[in-house]
Amino acid sequence: IRAARWRSLLTMLGVIIGVAGVVTALSVGEGVKQQVIKQVDNMGADVITVRPGKSILRNDQGGIEKVNLLRTLTGGATFSDSDYQVIQKTSGVGSVVPIALVNAVATVDGAEYSAGTVYGTSEAMPEVLKQKLLYGGFFDTDDANRNMVVIGHTVAEQLFKQNAPIGRSVEIHGQSFIVAGVL
């Protein structure tokens, strides 16, 4: 070791870097694994998302011809009411909740919130969402003809400057919605 100091030093440095790299890779992998497990636990292991359209086109032999994820992810296709009914009547299916991604900005008294996502859905969403509301409640079948909205706590704080703006109005796409609850 004394005769070849530089070679010994470089060998030790290589071993140290190699061990540190393996430990780092295992730590990151375990962290990602725990995050995925937490997300599955939050939503439930029995939740399946069905999107309209074909993202994979196959040839006559069953081989993949084309992958078109952009169409299904950007809403290039939609479900009809009959599609919704078929999914709802499928055996083994507990709850069916339609979800539509809406490109919109929420506005209150001239203040805008554009950092979030607006989803259109039905009163059955709480069954699938499995999140507790901090304030208020979710809209129900009695509210079908009323424009009701459930917002996140960040939206409540930034738009209304309060935690529980229940009963207050927020404008989305030029329509007024009443805040029913805060997640």
DSSP string, 67-107: E-HHHHHTT-S---HHHHHHHHHSTT-------EEE---EE
Query: Residue 151: what residue type?
Result: I
Residue 71 pLDDT exceeds 90: no
- pTM listed for this prediction: 0.60
Report angle CA 84, 122, 128 to the nearest 5 degrees. Answer: 85
Report angle CA 84, 85, 88 to the nearest 5 degrees. Answer: 90
Question: pLDDT-derived band of residue 9, with 50, 70 and 90 as boundaries?
Answer: very high
Residue 155 pLDDT exceeds 80: yes
How many Å apart are CA 172 and CA 147, to the nearest integer?
10
Residue 48 pLDDT exceeds 80: no
Question: pLDDT-derived band of residue 147, with 50, 70 and 90 as boundaries?
Answer: confident
Are the C-beta atoms of residues 134 and 179 closer than 8 Å to each other?
no
Residue 72 pLDDT exceeds 60: no
Higher-pLDDT residue of 151 and 48 is: 151
How many Å apart are CA 135 and CA 131, to the nearest integer?
12
Report angle CA 70, 71, 72 to the nearest 5 degrees. Answer: 95
**Mean of per-residue pLDDT scores for the chain:** 83
